[in-house]
Amino acid sequence: MAEVLVFHHGHGLTAGVREFAERLRRAGHTVHAPDLYEGRVFDTLEEGIAYAGSTGFGTITARGIAAAEQLPPELVHVGFSLGVLPAQKLAQTRPGAKGALLLESCVPIAEFGGTWPRDVPVQVHGMDADPYFAGEGDVDAARALVGTATDGELFLYPGDRHLFTDNSLPSYDEPAAEQVARRVLGFLDRVE
C-alpha cells in the first residue's frame, strides 16, 4: 500500500478533507494530513485565502515541507487547491517521491525548478469551467505538466465548481468527486 501525504485547501483541514484521507486509509493506505492552518478552518474560501495571504503563501508551503521532513521520502503527495503548492513542490523537488495527485489546482513547473521528475507519475483533476482552475491558468499549467511527465494524466470534469471534491462544502459535486476518488485509488494501487 502507498504512503500518502494530503494537504488541505484554502478553507483549512475541513471535515471533507479528513473524510477523503479516511477513505484512502480504509482502502489500506497510510495517510498523513497535516494542518497547515494550525487549527483554523474558515467558512468561506475568501477568508481562508486572506489568512494564507497574511500568513504568507511561502509560510504555508514551508509548513507542508516541514511536515514531509518527518516522514520517509517515498510518498505520494496530494494537494487540494492551495495544498497543491506544497504537494507539487515536494513531488517535483524531493527525491524519492512516488507520485503526485493535484486536485483543482496546478502550478507552472517553472515555479519549482522547471522540470518534472521522469519517475514521478502525476494526475491532475479539475472542472473545465472552474473560475480558479480553468480561469486562472491552472489548466494550462496542468496540460504543460502532464505533457512533460512520463506518466501524466489530466482529468477534466464538466462544471464550474471549485473544491467540488470536499463533501463538507456547498461546492461538492458527488458524481464528479466519486470519479476523482476512483481514479485516485486506482493511481495509488498502481504506484504502491
- Render pLDDT for 14-50 as a digit per residue (tens, 0 to 9): 999 999 999 999 999 999 999 999 999 999 999 999 9
Number of domains in the chain: 1
Give me the domain span that covers residue 51.
Answer: 3-191
CB 95 within 8 A of CB 22: no
Which portions of the chain are predicted below pLDDT 50? none
CATH number at residue 103: 3.40.50.1820
